[in-house]
Amino acid sequence: MSLNPASSAPGAQRLSRTLAFRLTAAYSLAGLLMVLLGTASLYIVLRAELNKSTDLFLADKLHVLRTMLRERPDDDDGLREEIQLENAARRYQQFYIRLVDEHGAPVMTTPGMEEQLDLDELVRRTRDRPGASIPMAGRRGQPFRVTSADARVGTAPSRNDTIQIAIDISQEEALLRRYRLWFWAILLAMSFFFPLIGYRVARHGIRPVEEIASTARRITSTNLRERIRAEGYPSELASLAGTFNEMLDRLEESFERISRFSADIAHDLRTPVNNIRGEAEVALARARTADEYREVLESSLEEAVRLSELIGDLLFLARAESPLKNVRRQKVEVCELLSAVREYYDATASDGGITLVTAVNAAPITAELDRSLMLRAVSNLVSNAIAHTLPGGMVTLAAAADGEAIRIEVSDTGVGIPIEALPRVFDRFFRVDLSRSKSSGGTGLGLAIVQSIMTLHGGSAEISSELGRGTCVTLRMPAIAAG
Ligand SMILES: Nc1ncnc2c1ncn2[C@@H]1O[C@H](COP(=O)(O)OP(=O)(O)O)[C@@H](O)[C@H]1O
Ligand SMILES: [Mg+2]
């Protein structure tokens, strides 16, 4: 994966590195601890088992010899078999036995016992704990376990011999030594392998995060189509990727709207400018009479008025969006405001054969509003209503106070708006029927301006309409400025 060092990559990478490092460290420590505990406890169990089997062997031998001495005190062959011959056949766990009489004189000894062990020391060590298994080093340092116990000879209580047994446990010790060696070797190997494996696992887990970051880095205003493919991601990261993609969807949509908006502006500005230019060129092609010039000027003026209205609307919308928007609120009597709008449009309405009425309660409704902005909003609604209502129809202006909120309604009995167009009528430059609206001189900015005026007042605008029956726009806003 290539990283662009100029972008925010270093930050993202540093984070991932720390995360990977931490995960690796935690994983390795836990792994090593488990191996340590596992092997150490196995070692302890093994050592205990080996000791136990040695002790059992000693106890067993002791038992056999005591039984022999008691039951068959004269069976010298049997004793010799046990003490002198059996050992010679063994290669593993060599053991040595000595039988001593009451006066300390040896009766029978396994050959080689004196070379292996200091027998006086054996006597000293085992004296206080008859029958117990006691560790002792041989003459050449090899490890032994020794035991000794008295044994009655025959059934008469006259004679009491002592049995001394020593068993060579160097093989067991070697086994344990090898085990310890392996133990350290495995631990050493694991302390290399665990970090390696842990690092790979951590990197694998973090990869989606890095992919998300690299996608984010690739995204520019011209490249909003880029999305994160979250297949195979763990669910937490899949939801992160999903949220990210949703954000991109929204960004892409608003970018598209903005570019559509600029295309519309360009188009709407070009038409009147082209008209003025065309007429001027035609007029200048040859000499004209004063009347002809006047006609051209009048037509140009009309286009210029249209242009400046359009520019004025655009400027208004741009300003309303900026954070420096200022609303000059003052006490406004809403019913009086509606009457003023009605008076202004009376002539236009009656020219189109439309009845324009205000329906307001007797009680005055006062609110803190920007009077000129509100006049503009209501005027836009009334001019729309008149433009889309056929002769004989009616346009009604109504207002009502609803506790802290006030409501202004402009309804008409006009042509209505198709249901599929309703959600878009507040969009800039949107017109339901281009040819019809063009003739009425609309720019498609009227309702967008209404909506931004409502936003400036902390209110909202809603529209409802039925094709062929009429339209109703409702403005809602708080009567008193919030905050
Ligand atoms: N009262 C209404 N009756 C029918 N259609 C309407 C009404 N008000 C608005 N519209 C539709 O909504 C569109 C957008 O309105 P507006 O933003 O004021 O733009 P303009 O009036 O400049 O066309 C209009 O072109 C028209 O198609
Ligand atoms: Mg309009």
Q: Is the CB of 471 under 6 A from ligand 1?
A: yes
- Give the whole-angstrom CA distance, residue 143 versus residue 382: 113
Question: If you measure from the C-alpha of residue 351 to the centroid of ligand 1, how many angstroms do you get, rounded to a whole number?
Answer: 20
Chain segment 371-409, per-residue pLDDT in tens: 999 999 999 999 999 999 999 999 999 999 988 899 999
- Give the whole-angstrom CA distance, residue 421 versus residue 331: 36
pLDDT value of residue 7: 45
The neighbour count for residue 374, using CB atoms within 10 Å, is 23
Q: Is the CB of 386 under 6 A from ligand 1?
A: no
Query: What would you measure as the largest C-alpha separation in the chain, in angstroms?
Result: 167
Q: pTM score, two decimals?
A: 0.56
pLDDT value of residue 323: 62
Q: Is the CB of 431 under 6 A from ligand 1?
A: yes
Probe ligand 1: pick from 425, 430, 440, 474, max atoms within 8 Å of CB? 425
- Give the whole-angstrom CA distance, residue 432 versus residue 415: 11
Q: Is the CB of 417 under 6 A from ligand 1?
A: yes
Residue-averaged pLDDT of the chain: 87
Residue nearest to atom 22 of ligand 1 (CA): 442
Q: What is the mean pLDDT of residues 328-342?
A: 93
Question: If you measure from the C-alpha of residue 335 to the centroid of ligand 2, how many angstroms do you get, rounded to a whole number?
Answer: 22
- Give the whole-angstrom CA distance, residue 291 versus residue 296: 9
Query: Does 454 score more than 50 pLDDT?
Result: yes
Confidence of residue 469 (pLDDT cuts 50, 70, 90): very high
pLDDT value of residue 3: 42
pLDDT value of residue 295: 93
Alpha helix (H) residue ranges in 219-234: none
Chain segment 35-52, per-residue pLDDT in tens: 999 999 999 999 999 999
Q: What is the mean pLDDT of residues 90-109?
A: 87
For the stretch 77-83, contacts whose Cβ atoms lie closer than 8 Å and that sit 24 or more positions apart, written own/partner, are 79/108, 80/108, 83/108, 83/109, 83/110
Query: Does 83 score more than 90 pLDDT?
Result: no
Atom of ligand 1 nearest to the CA of 473: 1
Chain segment 148-183, per-residue pLDDT in tens: 998 888 877 767 889 999 999 999 999 999 999 999
- Give the whole-angstrom CA distance, residue 452 versus residue 470: 24
Tokens describing residue 42 = 């196995």
pLDDT value of residue 434: 58
Residue nearest to atom 21 of ligand 1 (CA): 442
Ligand with minimal distance to 264 CA = 1
Query: Does 10 score more than 70 pLDDT?
Result: no
Q: Which of 431, 427, 447, 448 is nearest to 439 (CA)?
A: 431
Tokens describing residue 292 = 């002809």
pLDDT value of residue 257: 79
Q: Is the CB of 261 under 6 A from ligand 1?
A: no
Q: Is the CB of 198 under 6 A from ligand 1?
A: no
Q: Is the CB of 449 under 6 A from ligand 1?
A: no
One-letter amino acid of 394: M
Helix (H, G, I), strand (E, B) or coil at 405: strand
- Give the whole-angstrom CA distance, residue 337 versus residue 68: 130
Q: What is the mean pLDDT of residues 111-122?
A: 89
pLDDT value of residue 11: 52
pLDDT value of residue 168: 92
Query: Does 4 score more than 70 pLDDT?
Result: no
Residue nearest to atom 13 of ligand 1 (CA): 431
Query: Does 448 score more than 70 pLDDT?
Result: yes
Chain segment 276-316, per-residue pLDDT in tens: 999 999 999 999 999 999 999 999 999 999 899 889 888 88
Which residues are placed with Cβ below 5 angstroms of ligand 2, an ion? 384, 442, 446
Helix (H, G, I), strand (E, B) or coil at 62: helix
Q: Is the CB of 414 under 6 A from ligand 1?
A: yes
pLDDT value of residue 169: 93
Read out DSSP for 89-137?
G-SSS-EEEEEE-TTS-EEEE-TTHHHH--HHHHHHHHHSSTT--EEEE
- Give the whole-angstrom CA distance, residue 331 versus residue 178: 98
Q: What is the mean pLDDT of residues 446-472?
A: 94
Question: If you measure from the C-alpha of residue 274 to the centroid of ligand 1, how many angstroms do you get, rounded to a whole number?
Answer: 25
- Give the number of C-alpha atoms closer than 13 A to the C-alpha of residue 39, restricted to the C-beta side: 18
Query: Does 414 score more than 50 pLDDT?
Result: yes
Question: If you measure from the C-alpha of residue 389 to the centroid of ligand 1, how many angstroms do you get, rounded to a whole number?
Answer: 11
Probe ligand 1: pick from 381, 426, 447, max atoms within 8 Å of CB? 447
Query: Does 1 score more than 50 pLDDT?
Result: no
Question: If you measure from the C-alpha of residue 448 to the centroid of ligand 1, how many angstroms do you get, rounded to a whole number?
Answer: 10
Confidence of residue 14 (pLDDT cuts 50, 70, 90): low
Probe ligand 1: pick from 410, 431, 436, 452, max atoms within 8 Å of CB? 431
Query: Does 16 score more than 70 pLDDT?
Result: no
Question: If you measure from the C-alpha of residue 298 to the centroid of ligand 1, how many angstroms do you get, rounded to a whole number?
Answer: 28
Domains of the chain listed by start with CATH number: 1-218 (no CATH), 235-320 (1.10.287.130), 326-478 (3.30.565.10)
Residue 325 or residue 363, greater confidence: 363
Query: Does 270 score more than 60 pLDDT?
Result: yes
Atom of ligand 1 nearest to the CA of 449: 17
Atom of ligand 1 nearest to the CA of 416: 4
Residue 86 or residue 369, greater confidence: 369
pLDDT value of residue 440: 52
Question: If you measure from the C-alpha of residue 76 to the centroid of ligand 1, how many angstroms do you get, rounded to a whole number?
Answer: 129
Residue nearest to atom 7 of ligand 1 (CA): 384
Q: Are 334 and 457 in contact (CB under 8 A)?
A: no
Confidence of residue 210 (pLDDT cuts 50, 70, 90): confident
